[in-house]
Amino acid sequence: MEKNKKLALLFVPIVFFILYIGTSIGSSNIDILDTISILLNKLFNIPLRENIAPKDVAIIWSIRVPRVLLAFFVGGSLAVSGAVVQSVLKNELASPYTLGVSSGASLGAGLVIILGLNVSFLGNFTLPIVGFLFGLLTVYSVIIFSSKIDKTMSNNTIILAGMVFSLFVNALLTTLTAVFSEDLKSITLWQMGSFSMRGFSYVQAIIPFVVIGMLGVSKYIREMDILTFGEEQAKAVGVDTSKVKKRLFIFSTILAGSAVSLSGTIGFIDLISPHVVRRIFGSRHIYVIPMSFIFGGCLMVITDLISRTIISPAELPVGAITALIGAPFFAYVYFSKGKR
């Protein structure tokens, strides 16, 4: 336990360093001291260094800072959601996408793009809010369906129900894009994931979901530890496994749904992060949950940095970068598990 605390403290300077690197490096590289001066000026009203151009101030504060913060929150939310789903389903290869979050959010986003919906009081947030609601509705449908056909809500039932609903919702989206082919490019680009041109309003939008989701998940840390020993043992010590599962799935969907809705479908972060964290910190969720958030956030910032610098000044979809990293990792986890 003492070792884990020291390791957790070691991550603190690493987080700040990665956030700083993500803010400083880009198509327009800005001097390290200038970046620090701009941040200190905006945060603490300390005078700027001499000869800092106004465009550099705008690049750092208006473009890169909100982009890096949003990437960190999205990565952290996906990682925690993945950790919860893997723990509850006792499957290292499970993720919130298994329950249909991304499929539902993609269908919602597709409908907004195709129909040109724009709710006046939501403004630019019409697409992410509708996407989030469809993602939440899909997962809720999976939970209700699973509980109806299997009152114990066994893990296999939940996984199979999630696959069925995901395939069905994806089929609806495919049909819509085939009929409205002129919107295919917009839907495809959204699904690839991006943090481009996301201002502070997007950061403010995701924070309430992160707070609600993290508080909800943290409330059931003890129950998640007990569930790792099996459902029968959990029931023997008084855990209402069905209720706990439902609530954990809802909170994990709040985290994953808000992340997907604000950034698009970005895969593998929710798979990689919890797996690496468990290798370092063990299986106790008092460490797995917060460290998954930190590791997932840092990993997302790094992958976003790669996506916007590797072919600068153009950008690659961040979802493509995570897939290039995550696919080999997924294969490694699967085949190493098979050998064991």
* pLDDT, tens only, 13-51: 889 899 988 988 877 777 888 888 998 888 888 888 888
- Per-chain mean pLDDT for the chain: 86
Residue 326 lies in a domain: yes
- CATH assignment at residue 318: 1.10.3470.10
**CA gap 248, 300 in Å, rounded:** 23
- Quick check: bond before 313 cis, omega within 30? yes
Burial environment of residue 326 by CB neighbours within 10 A (0 to 12, 13 to 18, 19 or more):
buried
Residue 35 lies in a domain: no
**CA gap 146, 160 in Å, rounded:** 9
Domain extent at residue 253 = 2-29+68-339
**CA gap 197, 216 in Å, rounded:** 30
DSSP letter (8 states) at residue 64:
I
Greatest extent of the chain over all pairs of C-alpha atoms, in Å:
69
Put simply, whether the predicted model's pTM sits higher than 0.85 gets the answer yes
Residue 52 lies in a domain: no
Provide the residue type at 115 as one letter: L
CB 269 within 8 A of CB 298: no
pLDDT at 337: 58
> Which residues, 6 or more positions from 193, have their beta carbon under 8 angstroms from its beta carbon?
263, 264, 265, 266, 317, 318, 319, 322
Phi, psi of 200 (to 5 degrees): -65, -25
CB 255 within 8 A of CB 210: yes
**CA gap 48, 131 in Å, rounded:** 41
Residue 130 lies in a domain: yes
pLDDT at 232: 80
CB 224 within 8 A of CB 248: yes
Residue 11 lies in a domain: yes
pLDDT at 68: 95
pLDDT at 334: 66
Q: Tell me which residue of 127, 266, 134 sits closest to 194, measured CA to CA.
A: 266
Residue 20 lies in a domain: yes
CB 204 within 8 A of CB 198: no
Residue 224 lies in a domain: yes
Mean pLDDT by 10 residues, the chain (340 residues): 73 88 82 86 87 87 93 95 90 84 88 80 79 90 89 84 92 86 78 84 90 94 86 82 89 90 87 90 91 95 91 82 81 64
Which region, left, alpha or beta, applies to residue 193 given φ > 0 means left and ψ of -120 to 50 means alpha?
left
> Which residues, 6 or more positions from 110, have their beta carbon under 8 angstroms from its beta carbon?
173, 176, 177, 183, 187
**CA gap 208, 183 in Å, rounded:** 31
Total structural domains in the chain?
1
pLDDT at 338: 54
Residue 219 lies in a domain: yes
